Amino acid sequence: MYAASDDILDAAKSSFFGDLADEDEDFELNPCQNYRRRVEKFLERGDEWLLVRRQNTFTRGNNTNNYSEATMRILKDIILQRTKAFNVVALVDFCSTVLQNYFVKRLLAFAHGRRADPRLQYTELCKKLRDVNTDTITVVDDYHYLVPSHNRKSTVYSVDAEYGLCACPSGQTGAFCKHQALVHERFNVPFPNAPAVGLEERYKLALLALGSKCPDKDFFRDIRDVSEVSTTPGAIPVDSPTVEIRASTAATDVIASDVDAGALADSVKAEVLRIGGLITTYTAAAVKAFLPCLQSVKTEDDLIHAMYQCRSTLRARKGGAIKVQPTSTARRRPGVTRGCKRVAAGRPPSSDSAIKRPHKRPRLLVANITANVPHAKSHGVGH
């Protein structure tokens, strides 16, 4: 599967089938021949799983179904929150609102430099060719470069910056390899498959997420990007706290100018009078239970918290949960829910009250006989 060329693949096939070439007269009594037939059937579909046959496929280095598996988990756990949609219209509504907001947050996380994965990956690739001299790289045109190999001096790889391709085994399918990282770092050439580490790439992600509401490019500038900072006398640096104070003050002024507090108070009074007309003997108990919540509002912060809490409660979705297979719950580790709720990600809590792990019985035959339990084994837990 991992053969780099057809010659290596043929040598591996001859080595494998050569050891099993001695066929037994009775085919059913020779299990090696059964395995040989199975491998032969798989090799007939070698274009689907042999990497040497997939070098011309534009996969960006991803030859698994991890993206599809992660997408389904995001759709079920985050977008639908493990709750079934009532109909197709509701499902489209979730995908057009909740899913879009999720993608916006993910794009902004990369645009603001909150994720260190792309930066670490880019640094690791650049570190591999740190000793390569820039003069040894041949510039063919604006998008094509010839990069020498670090291990074999006689080998030269062709790098295409327009489509994000390289002649090396890693970059033939469109993956971002170390040769592309070298050209990206030394010549500042944009690649379609490069990680979002530079100002230009991060600004494009923010522009994709926010559209016309996207701030200026200087807003996403890193504190280490000092080469393009304006040096005009009297100019305020982009990273200065004064800029943040002015931006927040301007936003507050916009909100204060757009909202009329008096008209809003009149609208609230009218709604309270309307709701007061709905109080009857049937609804008196519910209103009486809700009255302490209104009486607890003493400050402006309490009012903001109460309003948003009421809004989130009214928009809560209830419905049938998305079921999971029994074999899936059986494979879960101790402490994880056995139902169809969302499985919490990250490090599990270490407190004993959160996870009740089974205690291993002592390997003492007399104690186990007295307790009338099976004797403990020498491996595993809970025996």
* Segment 106-153, tens digit of pLDDT: 999 999 988 888 889 999 999 998 888 888 899 998 889 999 988 887
What's the pLDDT score for residue 156? 92
Sheet holding 138-139, edge to edge: 138-139, 144-148, 156-160, 165-166
The larger pLDDT score, comparing residue 71 to residue 238, is at 71
The winner for highest mean pLDDT among 249-258, 304-313, 369-378 is: 369-378
Weakest mean pLDDT among 40-54, 218-232, 287-301:
218-232
pLDDT digits (tens, 9 = 90+) for 105-117: 999 999 998 888 8
Q: Which residues touch 199 (CB under 8 Å, ≥6 apart)?
A: 217, 220, 221, 222, 225, 228
Domain limits, the chain? 6-53
pLDDT at 356: 61
Looking at residues 252-267, what average pLDDT do you find? 66
Q: Is the pLDDT of residue 351 over 70?
A: no
pLDDT higher than threshold 50 for residue 180: yes
Is the predicted pLDDT of residue 330 greater than 90, yes or no? Answer: no
Rounded average pLDDT over 33-55: 86
Mean pLDDT of 157-171: 89
Q: State the residue for tokens 């992600």.
A: 205
| Dihedral sign (CA 291, 296, 300, 301) | negative
- Say what the pTM is: 0.54
**pLDDT for the residue 30:** 59
Residue-level pLDDT at 233 = 40
Task: Give the best-scoring range by mean pLDDT among 103-107, 298-302, 317-321, 352-356.
Answer: 103-107
User: Does residue 315 have a pLDDT over 50?
Assistant: yes
pLDDT at 53: 84
Averaged pLDDT score across all residues of the chain: 79
pLDDT of residue 62: 82
Q: How far apart, in whole angstroms, are the C-alpha atoms of residue 160 and residue 144?
A: 5
